[in-house]
Each structure stands twice: as C-alpha cells, then as structure tokens.
C-alpha cells in the first residue's frame, strides 16, 4: 500500500520542529507490562522536552503535547499543517487537573462550572465528551454568570494553558479520555495534553497506529507513537457548549452540541432529564409554537441540524467547524442513499448506472472504447476504480459477486448487470456510450450493520484511508487509490449523527445524498 504524499512543512514552521526529534518516529510497544512501563517513561520524557507524542484514545489517535507550553503546542500545529486559528482540545486525567486549568471564584477558590456540566461529567467522564469552559477574558474582577447567578472571578488558573491552545478565544475545551493508555500517559507525565487527531490537517482521522505512521511518522517532528491497537469508537468526541440565560431571564441556560461525536445527543438529553433539568427557554418557545415533532422538551440544540452561527464558523471555539476535514487525498467522496420501491419523483438510476456514469465523466481516458491497439495500455490509462462503502444490507441486496479478498473487510467485487433504466443510453444512437462494468475495478468496504451505526463509526475513517491508498498487486501504472468512493448515508440517530457529519465533510459539504434504486 502506498503512503500519502505528505504535506510539506511550511518554511515558517520548519524552525519550530525540534532538532532532537527523530526523523522516523518510533513505535512504542504497550505490552507486556514491562514494555508498557518503559514506553510510558519514554513518552513522558519526550513530552517534558516539548516534543509531540501520538497516543490512542477511545475515539481516534491523538497528537499530544504539553498544553502548558507554547513551544510544544506550536509543534503540534507544525506537524499537522494545521491553521493556527483552529483551537485544540485539552485532555486531562482527573477533575483536579481540570480545575487547575480554570479560573476560580473569590468565595471558595473553586472554578466556576455550570451545573449541567457537573451532571454530564458524572455520567460521561471519562469518555468521548468534550466540554467548553469559559475563561476570564479580561483578568481579575470579571463577572461571569453561571446558573442564573453572578460569580466574581478573581483568581487566575493555577496552571494556565498556552495561548495557542485556545486560538485567542475566551474559552477552553477539555475532555477526560477513557482509554487506559491515554489516562496512564497523562497521569505519568502529570501534564494536561493538548491533542488534536494525529493526522495531516484535512485528512481522515487515524484509528490505528499505522494510520499515524502514514501521515506523520516521517519527518514531521514527532517524538514517538504509542501503539494501542484500534480505537473503540472511531469518531472524535462530542463537543458541548453551555450558554447562559439571556439578561434577566430565569433558568439553567442551554446546551449546544457544536460537534457530534461518541456521545449522542439522545444520551445527553436523557442525562439532563434524569438530573432534573428543564427545557431551555429557546426550546420551550419552539415547543409552544408546535415546532417540535415529538412534543418532548428539547434541552440541547445541535449545530448544523438545529442552528448555524456565522460567528462560530468564522471564530470557532472547537475543532471541526471552520476548515475542510476528513477528505481523502486522492479520491472524491460522494454520499448515496438506497431507495427501495418506486420513487414518487420518477425513475432513479441504479447503483450500476451511477458507477458507469461517474466512470465516463471522471476518467473517460481510462475507460475509452477499444481503439484497436492490442498493446498493454494500463500504464498509460489505468483502470477506473470505484470504492463502495455500503452497509451489509445494501451490499446483499445488490447481489455483488466477490472476486477476491483484498484486506478485511474490503473485497474486489463484480456488480451484476444493471436493470433496464432510462439512464443506460445517453447517446442518440441505439448503443450505450457507458463503459462496461467489467472495465471498472469495484472495491467493496463494508460499513457493517445498518442497525448498528457504531460499526459505521468504527469503519468510516479506516475505509476512506484504505481505499484512498489502494494499489492492486502487480500494478505498474503508478496510480494510487480509487477514483471515487460512494458512502452510504446511515440513519442520523445516536452515533449515526456523528458518522454523517464526518461523511458530509469528507464529501466537501455535499448538501444531500444521491439516490439510487435498490
């Protein structure tokens, strides 16, 4: 498998890379126990030298460095090629470590934490939930409203994060990971770790140590990579923001999900309901207007689903809101949706039609009709390649035939002939100008069960990466990856909402799904 062409480190950032960083970041073993202890000692030492270290979390692999050091944090941005106005999430191993990063009030020396956050931390920490905490933007004496009361903030944090972490925003995003290696590394180093995903900026997030090696393992300034196997969740953490009640209003404020992730909106709703919190004022007003479908009070709003904010998109308080994300380097991603039965809007193309149409429009030279030249032309016009990331139900209904196993769960398949449709002939004559399906390489990478969206979460990034880097055995064309990846839309419930958020960004913001007849 070919590795991606690495994004060059900008000249302005090259001086930030430490000369002591190895050219090839070593993989640190985490078993047996004796090896783990040595690896934690090594990784901790590197972190205290302000060198970034990649490590596994339950969501994706993170690229961690001391959140207290500007030099260390700048090296994260340089290694990833990440824009400096894209804030980072800080990872902690205890609430005491969190409290040290926040301003404290004048009455009891404790940080100001919304009560809703306390309920969420009790339920979901450690775990894939990040919370945005207000910082004191103007120094001592700033009044901060929390839970409908004014609390005067006087004391600065005991351990202030580097300004690069927040990208100039008066807030700090923090989570406590549940992966035992992540917690052990933070505790062992006694450092809060600023840690975005350990991949080149805009690429699919890494869910294995091998993915980190592909993107950042050579010449990117990493001190080491802790190998902890595959990540359990497969998509990043959910990011939640608390909004105080409007001036003069009563209530607990409201929560907004700024990034869907490993904790679903439904789980957050259930937690707040069990903790005794009422609906937000905004949600209650919407309910009175009859705008809620279920009639149940809505306690949270989800960004892009329930609201948008130009200010948040221009000056984000959390990663994933402003820049291109999750896109493969070689392949174009297209979202598709199977439709069973007749469509009210008229006939739909079959998936075979879509494959043939895209082959014709995206790479006509690769699928051109035989011009009489008997020579091997694959080195000049390599075969068009399509990746299918579909659920098992859809794959079964298509009736595709497995030709060979590539790497589980990926197979080279042959699609059955397309059923008769008005999309089969585009030319004025009687013969179709679409290429034969046998002239196209079709790879199937299963998203798992449609009823279990966690399987799609675990496979989405890995599948995008695999298909983007795929090279057939004995191929001499020099072509890397498939040309096009069709990704099936999954129900936007539970973690499925996070899957679709990532899939849409990988597809470049495609507004809807391309439907096909199943």
**Whole-angstrom distance, CA of residue 330 vs CA of residue 435:** 22
Task: Please report which confidence band the pLDDT of residue 15 belongs to, taking 50, 70 and 90 as the band edges.
Answer: low
pLDDT over threshold 80, residue 18? no
Average pLDDT over residues 209-217: 96
pLDDT over threshold 50, residue 482? yes
Average pLDDT over residues 459-488: 93
Can you give the pLDDT at residue 153?
A: 52
**Whole-angstrom distance, CA of residue 206 vs CA of residue 234:** 8
Average pLDDT over residues 48-67: 98
Give pLDDT tens digits for 404-425: 999 889 999 999 987 776 665 5
Which stretch of 79-88, 108-117, 419-428 has the lowest confidence by average pLDDT? 419-428
pLDDT over threshold 70, residue 148? no
More confident residue, 68 or 109: 68
Contact 331, 507 (CB under 8 A): no
Task: Please report which confidence band the pLDDT of residue 363 belongs to, taking 50, 70 and 90 as the band edges.
Answer: low
Average pLDDT over residues 503-513: 88
Q: Which of 469, 472, 484, 485 is nearest to 382 (CA)?
A: 472
Give pLDDT tens digits for 297-312: 456 899 988 888 888 8
| Average predicted confidence (pLDDT) for the chain | 84
pLDDT over threshold 90, residue 428? no
Which stretch of 10-19, 107-116, 197-206, 221-230 has the lowest confidence by average pLDDT? 10-19
Average pLDDT over residues 157-180: 94
Task: Please report which confidence band the pLDDT of residue 326 belongs to, taking 50, 70 and 90 as the band edges.
Answer: confident
Give the CA angle between residues 153, 159, 162 to the nearest 5°: 100
Can you give the pLDDT at residue 247?
A: 66
Can you give the pLDDT at residue 357?
A: 86
Average pLDDT over residues 349-378: 66
Can you give the pLDDT at residue 380?
A: 55
Residue 357 has which token pair?
């149409």
More confident residue, 354 or 251: 354
Can you give the pLDDT at residue 463?
A: 97
Question: What ranges make up the beta strands (E) of 5-105?
Answer: 27-28, 53-55, 62-66, 89-91, 104-105
- What's this model's pTM, rounded to 2 decimal places? 0.87
Give the other-Cβ count within 10 Å of 423's Cβ: 20
**Whole-angstrom distance, CA of residue 97 vs CA of residue 113:** 14
Task: Please report which confidence band the pLDDT of residue 21 belongs to, taking 50, 70 and 90 as the band edges.
Answer: confident
pLDDT over threshold 70, residue 139? no
Average pLDDT over residues 448-463: 95
**Whole-angstrom distance, CA of residue 17 vs CA of residue 9:** 9
Average pLDDT over residues 463-487: 92
Query: Is the alpha carbon torsion for 95, 97, 103, 106 positive or negative?
Result: positive
The rounded percent of the chain whose pLDDT value lies above 70 is 80
The rounded percent of the chain whose pLDDT value lies above 90 is 58
Can you give the pLDDT at residue 152?
A: 57
Residue whose tokens read 């404290």: 104
Task: Please report which confidence band the pLDDT of residue 439 belongs to, taking 50, 70 and 90 as the band edges.
Answer: confident
Residue 323 has which token pair?
């820049």
pLDDT over threshold 50, residue 430? no
DSSP 508: T
Contact 228, 56 (CB under 8 A): yes
Q: Which of 445, 446, 427 is nearest to 435 (CA)?
A: 427
| 279-282: long-range contacts, CB 8 A cutoff, minimum separation 24 | 280/251, 280/252, 280/253, 280/254, 280/255, 281/245, 281/246, 281/249, 281/251, 281/254, 282/254
Average pLDDT over residues 196-213: 95
Contact 132, 239 (CB under 8 A): yes
H/E run at residue 35: helix 33-48
- Of these ranges, 159-163, 168-172, 357-361, 417-421, the one predicted with the greatest mean pLDDT is 159-163
Can you give the pLDDT at residue 433?
A: 63
Phi first, then psi, for residue 271 (nearest 5°) are -60, -45
* The pairing of beta strand 62-66 with beta strand 53-55: antiparallel
């Amino acid at each position: 498998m070919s590795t991606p062409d690495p994004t060059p480190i900008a000249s302005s950032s090259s001086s930030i890379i430490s000369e002591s960083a190895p050219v090839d970041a070593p993989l640190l073993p985490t078993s047996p126990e004796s090896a783990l202890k040595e690896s934690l000692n090594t990784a901790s030492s590197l972190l205290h030298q302000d060198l970034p270290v990649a490590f596994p979390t339950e969501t994706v692999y993170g690229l961690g460095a001391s959140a207290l050091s500007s030099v260390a944090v700048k090296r994260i941005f340089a290694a990833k090629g990440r824009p400096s106005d894209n804030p980072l999430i800080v990872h902690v191993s205890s609430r005491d470590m969190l409290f040290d990063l926040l301003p404290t009030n004048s009455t009891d020396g404790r940080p100001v934490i919304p009560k809703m956050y306390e309920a969420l931390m009790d339920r979901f920490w450690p775990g894939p939930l990040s919370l945005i905490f207000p910082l004191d933007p103007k120094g001592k004496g700033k009044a901060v409203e929390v839970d409908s009361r004014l609390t005067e903030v006087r004391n600065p944090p005991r351990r202030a994060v580097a300004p690069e972490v927040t990208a100039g925003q008066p807030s700090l995003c923090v989570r406590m990971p549940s992966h035992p290696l992540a917690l052990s590394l933070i505790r062992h180093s006694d450092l809060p770790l600023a840690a975005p995903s350990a991949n080149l900026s805009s690429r699919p997030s890494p869910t294995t140590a091998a993915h980190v090696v592909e993107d950042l393992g050579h010449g990117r300034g990493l001190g080491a990579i802790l190998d902890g196997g595959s990540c359990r969740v497969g998509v990043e953490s959910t990011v939640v923001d608390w909004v105080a009640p409007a001036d003069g209003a009563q209530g607990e404020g409201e929560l907004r999900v700024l990034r869907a992730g490993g904790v679903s909106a439904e789980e957050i709703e259930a937690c707040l309901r069990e903790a005794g919190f009422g609906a937000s004022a905004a949600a209650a007003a919407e309910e009175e207007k009859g705008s809620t479908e279920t009639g149940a009070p809505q306690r949270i709003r989800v960004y892009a689903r329930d609201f948008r904010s130009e200010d948040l998109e221009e000056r984000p308080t959390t990663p994933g809101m402003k820049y291109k994300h999750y896109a493969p380097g070689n392949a174009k991603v297209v979202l598709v949706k199977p439709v069973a039965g007749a469509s009210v809007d008229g006939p739909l193309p079959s998936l075979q039609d879509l494959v043939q149409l895209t082959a014709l429009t995206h790479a006509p030279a690769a699928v051109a009709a035989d011009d009489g030249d008997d020579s091997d032309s694959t080195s000049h016009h390599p075969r068009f390649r399509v990746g299918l990331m579909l659920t098992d139900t859809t794959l079964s209904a298509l009736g595709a035939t497995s030709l060979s196993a590539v790497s589980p769960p990926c197979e080279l398949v042959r699609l059955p002939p397309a059923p008769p449709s008005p999309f089969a002939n585009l030319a004025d004559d009687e013969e179709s100008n679409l290429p034969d399906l046998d002239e196209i390489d079709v790879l199937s990478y299963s998203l798992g069960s449609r009823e279990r969206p966690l399987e799609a979460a675990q496979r989405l990034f890995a599948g995008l990466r695999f298909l983007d880097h795929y090279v057939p055995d004995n191929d001499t064309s020099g072509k890397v990856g498939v040309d096009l990846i069709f990704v099936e839309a999954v129900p936007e419930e539970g973690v499925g909402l996070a899957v679709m958020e990532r899939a849409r960004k990988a597809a470049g913001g495609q507004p809807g799904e391309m439907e096909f007849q199943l």
